[in-house]
Structure 1
Amino acid sequence: MLFTLDTLNTKDKHSTNINGKNDELSKTSLSTSNIFSENHKIFMNKGLSIIGLNIVTLLGKIDELKHLLLNNTIDIVALNETRLNNSITDNIQNINGYDIYRKDRNREGGGVAFFVNNNGGFTHSVRYDLMHNELEMIILEIKKPQNKPILIIAWYRPPNSELKLFEYVEHVLENIECGNREIIMIGDMNCDILSANPTCYTQRINEIAKNFHLKQLISEPTRITKNSRTIIDHIYSSFPEKISTSGVLHTGMSDHSIIYAIIGKEEKIKHNHKFRISRTYKHFDENQFKSDMENVPWHEITIYSNVDDALDDFENKFLTIANLHAPSKKKRVRHKNSPWLTKEVLQLMHERDRTKKRASKEESSQIWDDGPGICL
């Protein structure tokens, strides 16, 4: 679902990242999903999972994002700087099992999007009535059975944008507050709350959080370069006591890291997976198979006057031998993945993510100079 934003033309500070070529994947493949496999307990049996990322051009990262989502149980993904326009259709950005909602600016910068799990045990809808035309923002309403609705706000504030944008955000929050709703606001605010000398923008976002009783959950740097560490990607909650866990996951998919929060501790609804029946030929012996088939009393089929009975007898005789030599097995059908994500590419992605994680922990410029390339 697409709705455009033509009023914002602010150039962004980030350069476009285009990820490389991508083979068939399995859940245990090396990839960006490793950042989650190392923290797999975070996203298992916990409640409503939300992640946010300034992806710095969605079009070049869609296959890596698809691999991440198809191998992890994530309910809501909020993306900033999608850099899309109406020439890029939803079909190009499609991820099986997820609905997409977009608010585009242009291919040069900006834009926000949601990917929402359509099998997560909740209903969802976009609250157009609460959104402001001047903001790169989407407001999503989530309804779980026997629970009050939750509003998830994905907001991207361009760097060096006018202070007036904060007034628009206040208007949005005032309208929401009238309904006494639970709020999660997530995105790249470009306000470094880690800085000892906060800018006027940071002071304004802090003021808004205080006035509307929103607690900021992220305390670890979310954008790390060779020369800087900043917390500009934020998650705000109006009911922080309902957040079971939150934090940062470092990935080389972008120059920003993933931020996340889990609301509640309910058991996740199990997905209805699809399965197919296939045969295994691991121990198949063609000569023995032919020999056993020749010894079947096929002449017995001719005694039936009813053709259906004859067919049933034939199938029973044939399948008895077939199951002995090539037994059938039930196999889960996995989603189709990008065929160009080869094992070698996945290995490089894994090395990239490990390097960024290491760089986030060690303040050493040598890692940036010698690493395999933290952002591809």
Structure 2
Amino acid sequence: MCQKPVAKNHRAVMCDRPECQQWVHIKCGNITPEEYEELKSACDSPSKKTVWFCSVCENINLLTSLDISADSFPTDNSFSVLSESDMSEEDDFDPDHELNLSSDSCSSHSTGTKSSEDHTSPQRRPKFRKLRLLNVNCRSIKSKRKQHDLQAVIEQEDPDIICGTESHIDSNYFTSEIFPDTHEIFRKDRNRFGGGVFIGVKKDLLAMQEENMDTDCEAIWVKILFAGKQPLYVGCFYRPTDRDPIPLTKLDEAVKKLTGKSALPNIILTGDFNTPDIDWENGTIVTGENKPQYGRHLNQTMIDLANDNMLSQVQRIPTRGENILDLVFTTIPDQIRKVETAPGMSDHDAVAVQLDTTVKYARKKPRKVYLYKKGNMDGIRDEMEQYKDSFLQSNPTDNDVETNWTSFKTELFHLMDKHIPQKQISSWQDVPWMNMTIKRQIRKKKRIWKKAKRNGSEKNWKDFREIRKVIKSSMKRAYEEYIRSILDNDNTMIESKKKFWKFINSQKKDSGGIPTLKTEGGLATTSASKADVLNRQYQSVFTEEDTASFPDKGPSPYPAMPNIIFTTEGIEKLLGNLNPQKACGPDLIPIRVIRETAKQIAPILQIIFTQSYDTSTLPNDWLSANIVAIFKKRK
């Protein structure tokens, strides 16, 4: 959020909430110029209802006054007194960067100071925004060049949901080696020579595949859940270029599983339908020389499918030449805010759809990481030596094991925070090799494409083709440099090895974690609920032994085990041999710090270990474990 005062000529909105009443620049509030104009028009028309989200208090506003006048504009706000000289907001406004809330946009702090949390990520997605869907004809995504094209389209449109047709991949291709890690991908492959559809849903959203709607056609369905709202069913369909009506008949069977219910569900069906000779304005078949292209029966089947299932076709812009091939059907046409085309990745334009459904993203909190290379380990060792002496002199055996362990762990964390710098890192996921130069080129390409579509100038189309070549070349070069930086590093160094194998493993995995689980009591969506479901499942398959009666085996033929003695020297040796690259356990104590301070903490741990053994008690941290579910492919 920025600290600039809101001037009279700035485009800004004020929150109507009594506890907030802050003015926010539209750029900082994630309000596009188009939305701002709609709000202005709604002010002039009292019957028109419009809502917007305040990025300061994160509440919904039902219309507000947008006219900034010297008489009505309040000056007791967090942006200080109005300044006529500060006109930079208008000068800095970038219409192609309207969804980018940077850390130096508007501030909600009344003190006017910036918090350190504003700088955890160079680019952060807003917490609320309208749902965006993108339909794209891929015409194969097997090659690296086409995969780069897909990543460029995603960067260009930033869709919440992406529907793709003609992927041309099969089970030999891992999802992770093709698609970016920002989306959960649901695939229905045909073969590597043709066909194939997929739906990608941002991992911030809760989605699950509707396998019961699978029929013998190239279509895939996903159900997206929203808190307090009806679910949204998204389908992606591809029809081959022939006269066979069976794929449409099978699609109709799938759609009727939803529309045949008592209440009409929220549906969006998109894809490449290859029916160019239907006039969707009138719902009729275009006839004439060599028309309809695929026969009257197939085109009528398509029209009947839409009418019988109460689907409205809201996409009326040609996507290939003068033909409308990529369609968008929905049962909620009144919630479709905008439909427009965009540069695609084949001879088809992409179709971008914006819904009035507002999405709240479940952002993960930034986590703290220690910068060990900049840490003062000598300082930690010196102060831990002092703590060791005071600990040994305080008669630790008079305390229980839990108290001694908690005291030790608290002191260790205190010294880490004191002597090791930290930083907050967010969970923002991005393509590591896509730099800002490429992102600017992608935005420029879309501007040139819009200009060429608008006036049809050959010069503009030539400029578009040229910048498209430049982007492909830039992306290829950036990717190759990124790979070279991994392979050319000295792989004898531990950090270089980790970077190398992290990249290799990322290209091999085919599961992005545990999906939503169905249970008898409903859906398990959170990490805790998924862990509980899996834990109950694991318990159910184990045999419960009869512990009440054990068979008598007689005296043991082996000598009795001597008492275990914990020595300071032995503990120090074991701690010094720990691998610092291993992850810490549930106690969150870094292995690197344990190894660096092995000599100082060994006497403390010797007392705790001995006390635990003698009293047969364990600290709570030692009773916990990190358990990871490993995906097992179906046979």
Name the TM-score class by shorter chain.
0.5 to 0.7
Runs of at least 5 residues in structure 2 that lack an aligned partner in the other structure: 1-93, 102-124, 393-403, 473-635
C-alpha contact 2:180 2:431 (8 A) present in aligned 1: no
Partner of residue 333, structure 2:
240
Number of paired residues? 322
Partner of residue 213, structure 1:
310
When normalised by structure 1's length, the TM-score is: 0.67
1:215 deviates by: 0.9
C-alpha contact 1:150 1:183 (8 A) present in aligned 2: yes
Map 1:141-220 → 2, pairs under 5 A: 141-179=223-261, 180-192=264-276, 193=278, 197=286, 199=292, 200=296, 202=299, 204-220=301-317
Q: Distance in 2 between matches of 1:266 and 1:172?
A: 27
1:80 deviates by: 0.7
- Matching of residue 50 in structure 1 with residue 104 in structure 2: no
Structure 1 or 2: more helix by fraction = 2
1:137 deviates by: 0.6
Partner of residue 100, structure 1:
185
1:113 deviates by: 0.5
- Matching of residue 113 in structure 1 with residue 205 in structure 2: no
When normalised by structure 2's length, the TM-score is: 0.42
1:314 deviates by: 10
Partner of residue 424, structure 2:
330
1:115 deviates by: 1.2
C-alpha contact 2:132 2:160 (8 A) present in aligned 1: yes
- Matching of residue 260 in structure 1 with residue 352 in structure 2: yes
The 1:35/1:270 distance shift into structure 2, 3 A limit, reads farther
1:79 deviates by: 0.6
1:359 deviates by: 2.1
SS in 1 for 2:357: coil
Percent identity reads 19
SS in 2 for 1:107: coil
Q: Which amino acid aligns with 1:258?
A: A
1:304-335: CA deviation from partner (whole Å, max 9, x where unpaired): 54379999999979976x68xxx754343532
C-alpha contact 2:134 2:352 (8 A) present in aligned 1: yes
C-alpha contact 1:35 1:249 (8 A) present in aligned 2: no
C-alpha contact 1:246 1:259 (8 A) present in aligned 2: no
1:237 deviates by: 0.7
Q: Which amino acid aligns with 1:101?
A: F
Q: Which amino acid aligns with 2:239?
A: R
Q: Which amino acid aligns with 1:261?
A: V
SS in 2 for 1:306: helix
1:268 deviates by: 1.2
Q: Which amino acid aligns with 1:255?
A: D
Q: Distance in 2 between matches of 1:334 and 1:254?
A: 29
Q: Which amino acid aligns with 2:233?
A: L
Q: Distance in 1 between matches of 2:98 and 2:347?
A: 20
Q: Which amino acid aligns with 1:167?
A: T
Q: Which amino acid aligns with 2:209?
A: S
Structure 1 or 2: more strand by fraction = 1
Partner of residue 455, structure 2:
362
C-alpha contact 1:98 1:115 (8 A) present in aligned 2: yes
SS in 2 for 1:220: coil
1:151 deviates by: 2.3
1:338 deviates by: 4.0
1:163-204: CA deviation from partner (whole Å, max 9, x where unpaired): 343333333333332224332111111223579946345554
1:248 deviates by: 1.9
Partner of residue 208, structure 2:
124
1:263-308: CA deviation from partner (whole Å, max 9, x where unpaired): 44344133114434467x9xx9xxxx9xxx9xxx99x959954379
Q: Distance in 2 between matches of 1:101 and 1:255?
A: 24
SS in 2 for 1:265: strand
Partner of residue 20, structure 1:
none
Partner of residue 229, structure 1:
322
Partner of residue 62, structure 1:
147
1:138 deviates by: 0.8
C-alpha contact 2:170 2:190 (8 A) present in aligned 1: yes
1:374 deviates by: 4.5
Q: Distance in 1 between matches of 2:450 and 2:148?
A: 21
Compare 61-70 and 261-270 and name the one that shifted more. Answer: 61-70
Partner of residue 21, structure 1:
none
Which structure has more relative contact order (CA 8 Å, sep 6+)? It is 1
C-alpha contact 2:370 2:423 (8 A) present in aligned 1: yes
C-alpha contact 1:111 1:136 (8 A) present in aligned 2: yes
Q: Distance in 2 between matches of 1:333 and 1:267?
A: 18
1:125-183: CA deviation from partner (whole Å, max 9, x where unpaired): 223x32321x1111222333444443221101122342343333333333332224332
Runs of at least 5 residues in structure 1 that lack an aligned partner in the other structure: 1-33
Partner of residue 25, structure 1:
none
Map 1:6-25 → 2, pairs under 5 A: none
Q: Distance in 1 between matches of 2:156 and 2:265?
A: 32
Map 1:255-294 → 2, pairs under 5 A: 255-277=347-369
